[in-house]
Amino acid sequence: MSEQTPTVTMEKIVSLARRRGFVFPSSEIYGGLSGCWDYGPLGIELKRNVKQAWWSAMVQERDDMVGIETSILMHPKVWMASGHLKSFTDPLVECKSCHQRFRADHLAENKCPACGGELTAERQFNLMFKTFIGPVEDGSNTIYLRPETAQGMFVNFDNVLQTTRRKLPFGIAQQGKSFRNEITTGNFIFRSREFEQMEMEYFVKPGTDEKWFEYWLNERINWYVKHGIKREHLSVLEHEKAKLAHYAKRVCDITFLYPMGWEEIEGLASRTDYDLKQHAAASGKVLDYYDDETKEHYVPYVIEPAVGVDRSLLAFMCDAYTEEPDKEETRIVMRFHPSLAPVKVAILPLSKKENLSNFARDIYKNLRTTLTTQYDDTQSIGRRYRRQDEIGTPYCVTVDFQSLEDNRVTVRERDLMLQIRIPVAELKKTIEAKMAGEDFLKLPPGGEVVQAKPKEA
Ligand code: GAP
């Protein structure tokens, strides 16, 4: 793993997220709830875009994948069979003086990091949240909030196989909330108690698993880079064979250079046939595959790329964040990939006069049917540009009095602040083409270049 210095501090990301309405502490008016976060108006757009980008790459654009959505509450036997009841634990220690609790494997020294006090011996703490199903709160009704979405795919393996008639290799993908009663949370949305996962179980013929592991490792790294993560901010951490969980043949973390250092953004595991065999044994149902070609029944092996939505969103925010000198001030720009940007276009009329407002609002109404669009007619145009830069809007459209006569508007792009003036009739098509990667200075009929070079600060 290369030694590098993070390019942005967590304080800057948290401050921007709060200031612009990306992420708020959960239940903030009551002092917040540890390890829980709320997504604001821009945060939810960004999150939906991250999830959509993953879904497109993992399901929509592939022949060998289907999606699924399973319930958060599952039969308690699921967690018995999967091994979570017994071993989904972290080592917990408590300070004998101040009684704070810590994850033993996160401590550099064997003393309390808060007060220096002596620590108790380690004990294993199960991370699953418990609740009761039905009106009687007794042990026989205990169920769990799922700590991963993966088991929903394993227990539905046969349902999917029978209803979709898939041939190996094929995958089942799912996105959804997971819950872990983490001993310590922190680093903003990096480690929380309620979070969202995007997981995929790829079922393969035993013996082909190593090839598919390499394939998915590459695919997943390429997905991050395609959507704006710098390649040099990603690394692969191979888990030591001797320390692998009992079911795993190989595990790699894809790590990202977060402000607090290199940390896991995604896990890739070769889970063998462990989960399907465990559920088959515990449920008494057959969970295998009949291979038409070899005329044999076998239990597929599984390759699993598993990523946290919140953790990847944080990484996209970190790598998008840039500061540039701008006269006496600093221009903060979130250089989100256009597909992830929470707002794609801002319509900025240069006056609030009725005739211009009506004209600009018609453009706004037309664009927002397919592109997330904001309308802003407050403050100076410079301030409005800065606001859009700070939330990462790739295109700003200014509407001026000349527009009423020539039916053209000026489009300014975020990164180099280049500008073109184009007919309103070409606007939507042009923005969609630029978002798909067309050179910004390529003009539609009737267009002209207004600003061809980056503006001097
Ligand atoms: N089914 C395998 C599994 O759940 P994991 O490595 O425990 O594997 C997968 O979790 C991903 O989920 C992690 O790489 C991380 O992105 C995310 N994740 C796990 N725990 C999290 C937490 N407490 N807060 C936020 N994201 C978390």
- In tens, the pLDDT along 351-360 reads 999 999 999 9
Atom 19, ligand 1: residue with shortest CA distance: 308
Ligand 1 pocket test, pick from 78, 151, 195, 221 with the greatest ligand atom count within 8 Å of Cβ, gives 195
Cα–Cα distance measured from residue 172 to residue 161, given in angstroms and rounded to the nearest whole number = 10
Res. 220 pLDDT band, cuts 50 70 90: very high
Residue 322 has pLDDT above 60, yes or no: yes
Q: List residues near ligand 1 (CB under 6 A).
A: 148, 150, 180, 182, 191-192, 195, 197, 199, 264-267, 304, 306-308, 310-311
Using the mean position of ligand 1's atoms as its centre, give its distance from the Cα of residue 42 in Å.
Answer: 23
Name the 3-class secondary structure at 159.
helix
Phi, psi at 173, each rounded to 5°: -120, 150
Residue 209 has pLDDT above 80, yes or no: yes
Cα–Cα distance measured from residue 63 to residue 48, given in angstroms and rounded to the nearest whole number = 23
Cα–Cα distance measured from residue 216 to residue 200, given in angstroms and rounded to the nearest whole number = 10
Residue 3 has pLDDT above 90, yes or no: no
Residue 1 has pLDDT above 80, yes or no: no
Name the 3-class secondary structure at 65.
strand
Query: Is the pTM of the predicted complex or chain greater than 0.75?
Result: yes
Cα–Cα distance measured from residue 232 to residue 32, given in angstroms and rounded to the nearest whole number = 35
Atom of ligand 1 nearest to the CA of 190: 25
pLDDT digits (tens, 9 = 90+) for 100-121: 999 999 899 999 999 999 999 9
Res. 247 pLDDT band, cuts 50 70 90: confident
Residue 456 has pLDDT above 80, yes or no: no
pLDDT digits (tens, 9 = 90+) for 72-96: 999 999 999 999 999 999 999 999 9
DSSP secondary structure string for all residues of 113-125: TTT-PPBPPPEEE
User: Which amino acid, one-letter code, is at 200?
Assistant: M
Alpha-carbon torsion angle 266, 6, 22, 70, nearest 10: 0
Segment 275-281 shows an average pLDDT of 98
Residue 215 has pLDDT above 70, yes or no: yes
| Nearest alpha-carbon partner for 363 in 399, 317, 320, 402 | 399
**Residue 245 pLDDT:** 84
| Nearest alpha-carbon partner for 223 in 292, 134, 342, 312 | 312
Using the mean position of ligand 1's atoms as its centre, give its distance from the Cα of residue 2 in Å.
Answer: 23
Count of alpha carbons within 13 angstroms of residue 201, beta-carbon side = 25
**Residue 4 pLDDT:** 81
